[in-house]
């Protein structure tokens, strides 16, 4: 099936492979009149670009975006916004070591089973470079959300066993350190942990947290298109994500109703509308699949990078046991570069759900058509 399109009213359709000619995305359904330029998108792409620290691959890619359509005189026209990033680092590589071998933790085996063969160059479509289209589209969505007073911010909550401390939490830090952790101390500790991993030819995983502020109550469609269900889908569709939780998430499952319920209050706590407040936010801003006006809180678990330099047991296409050592430099952790991808997927999904929600009440439909 066509699995490369996301969204209902605001959609993105991505394409491209790691070592093909390039990667791109077509964003359709963006409301007309939004100020948009390449720089808006480039800022987001730069955050996922390789080569930013000793913890990311040394692949040389400028990842310069070109907007091909849908923008006229600096504003979106309502027609599809097509964006492309050309691959530049297409040196002829020697893929003989992996073309017939199934790398553990990668999708080599499953692509072969599904399609009969695969583009084995650098992971093809299952490469992390596939997220370029997501991030470019997310940048457009973030621009739209900003017009509506909504901000989406993600950061690393934990790296391997190192978790951000609630006490030291400082969001400003996240944009200042290379690991995107909102806690300078934890970040330094995580760097030491990653150095150990690299020395051991091993890799680490981590947890990305994303918060959405300014989202009004009422967004999300009951039953199957709940806001949390859509966000879970969006975020779980990012390669290497193995778990998603909202608010207290798995911790809520071990708690009690009296503690987990968030009291509504006439005053105190965070205001969610016209003087109504919530005393706490265990729900992570979503009740019954619909935003409650409070901050949306989501966490995504990323598995450790599967590409490690130490020898691993595996099989080739004929099912014979072979040993593989994955050469070249690979990110020992993908979390810092994945932060912007989570942000992009959440922003895009929230924006789409906001557009979907516009017709929830007859009163709103009349507001548009009867003037």
CB closer to a copy of itself, 44 vs 302: 302
**Contacts to a copy of itself from residues 280-309, by CB under 8 A:** 282-284, 287-293, 301-308
Residues in CB range of 370: below 8 A, 6 or more apart: none
Regarding 51 and contact with a copy of itself (CB under 8 A), the answer is no
Residue 64 is classified by DSSP as: -
Regarding 144 and contact with a copy of itself (CB under 8 A), the answer is yes
Distance between CA 247 and CA 283 in Å, rounded? 5
Residue 104 is classified by DSSP as: T
CB of 150 to a copy of itself, least distance (A): 9
Region of 16 (left: φ > 0; alpha: ψ -120 to 50; beta: rest) is left
Regarding 199 and contact with a copy of itself (CB under 8 A), the answer is no
Evaluate whether 185 touches 120 at the Cβ level (below 8 Å): no
Interacting span for a copy of itself (CB under 8 A) from 38-46, 89-97, 155-163, 169-177? 155-163
| CA contacts within 13 A on the Cβ side of 362 | 0
Regarding 328 and contact with a copy of itself (CB under 8 A), the answer is no
User: What crossing angle do the helices spanning 335-357 and 131-147 adopt, rounded to 10°?
Assistant: 50
Q: What mask of x and - would describe binding to a copy of itself in positions 331 to 370, judged by CB under 8 A?
A: -----------------------xxxxxxxxxxxxxxxxx
Give DSSP secondary structure letters for 328-345: S---S--HHHHHHHHHHH
Q: What mask of x and - would describe binding to a copy of itself in positions 96 to 125, judged by CB under 8 A?
A: ------x-xxxx-xxx-xxxxxxx----xx
| Choice from 161, 175, 195, 328 touching a copy of itself (CB under 8 A) | 161
CB closer to a copy of itself, 84 vs 340: 84
Residue 87 is classified by DSSP as: -
CB closer to a copy of itself, 172 vs 333: 333
Give the C-alpha distances (Å, rounded to integers) separating 128 from 31, 40, 154: 29, 22, 18
CB closer to a copy of itself, 189 vs 245: 245
Evaluate whether 87 touches 21 at the Cβ level (below 8 Å): yes
CB closer to a copy of itself, 101 vs 172: 101
Residue 270's closest CA among 211, 202, 350?
211
Evaluate whether 302 touches 338 at the Cβ level (below 8 Å): yes
Residue 65's closest CA among 32, 25, 35?
25
| Choice from 1, 39, 74, 92 touching a copy of itself (CB under 8 A) | 1
Interacting span for a copy of itself (CB under 8 A) from 41-49, 57-65, 174-182, 244-252? 244-252
**Contacts to a copy of itself from residues 208-237, by CB under 8 A:** 216-226, 228-234, 236-237
| Choice from 53, 151, 249, 329 touching a copy of itself (CB under 8 A) | 249
CB of 178 to a copy of itself, least distance (A): 19
Q: Is 49 helix (H, G, I), strand (E, B) or coil?
A: coil
Regarding 253 and contact with a copy of itself (CB under 8 A), the answer is yes
CB of 227 to a copy of itself, least distance (A): 9
CB closer to a copy of itself, 9 vs 172: 9
CB closer to a copy of itself, 172 vs 262: 262
Using the structure block, give the residue that is written with the tokens 């975020």.
Answer: 235
Evaluate whether 117 touches 100 at the Cβ level (below 8 Å): no
**Contacts to a copy of itself from residues 63-102, by CB under 8 A:** 66, 68-70, 72, 75-82, 84, 102
CB closer to a copy of itself, 118 vs 172: 118
Distance between CA 212 and CA 347 in Å, rounded? 8
């Amino acid at each position: 099936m066509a699995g490369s399109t996301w969204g209902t009213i605001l959609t993105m359709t991505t394409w491209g492979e790691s070592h093909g000619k390039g990667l791109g995305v077509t964003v359709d359904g963006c409301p007309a009149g939004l100020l948009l330029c390449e720089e808006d998108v480039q800022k987001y792409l730069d955050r996922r670009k390789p080569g930013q620290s000793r913890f990311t691959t040394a692949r040389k890619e400028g990842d310069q975006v070109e907007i091909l359509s849908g923008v006229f005189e600096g504003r979106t026209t309502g027609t599809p916004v097509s964006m492309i990033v050309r691959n530049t680092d297409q040196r002829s590589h020697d893929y003989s070591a992996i073309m017939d071998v199934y790398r553990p933790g990668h999708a080599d085996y499953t692509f072969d089973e599904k399609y009969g063969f695969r583009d084995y160059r650098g992971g093809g479509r299952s490469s992390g470079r596939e997220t370029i289209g997501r991030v470019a589209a997310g940048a457009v969505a973030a621009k739209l959300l900003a017009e509506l007073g909504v901000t989406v911010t993600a950061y690393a909550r934990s790296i391997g066993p190192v978790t951000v401390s609630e006490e030291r939490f400082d969001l400003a830090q996240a944009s200042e350190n290379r690991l995107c952790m909102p806690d300078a101390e934890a970040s330094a500790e995580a760097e030491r942990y990653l150095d150990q991993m690299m020395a051991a030819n091993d890799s680490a995983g981590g947890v990305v947290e994303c918060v959405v502020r300014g989202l009004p109550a009422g967004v999300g469609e009951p039953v199957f298109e709940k806001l949390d269900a859509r966000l879970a889908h969006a975020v779980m569709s990012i390669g290497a994500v193995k778990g998603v939780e909202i608010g207290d998430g798995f911790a809520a499952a071990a708690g009690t109703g009296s503690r987990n319920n968030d009291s509504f209050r006439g005053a105190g706590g965070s205001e969610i509308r016209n003087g109504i407040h919530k005393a706490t936010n265990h729900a992570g801003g979503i009740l019954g699949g619909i935003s409650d006006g409070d901050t949306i809180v989501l966490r995504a678990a990323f598995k450790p990078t599967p590409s490690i330099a130490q020898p691993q047991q595996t099989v080739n296409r004929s099912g014979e046991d072979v040993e593989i050592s994955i050469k070249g430099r690979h990110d020992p952790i993908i979390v810092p570069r994945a932060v912007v991808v989570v942000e992009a997927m959440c922003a895009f999904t929230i924006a789409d759900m906001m557009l979907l929600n516009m017709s929830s009440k007859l009163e709103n439909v009349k507001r548009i058509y009867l003037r």
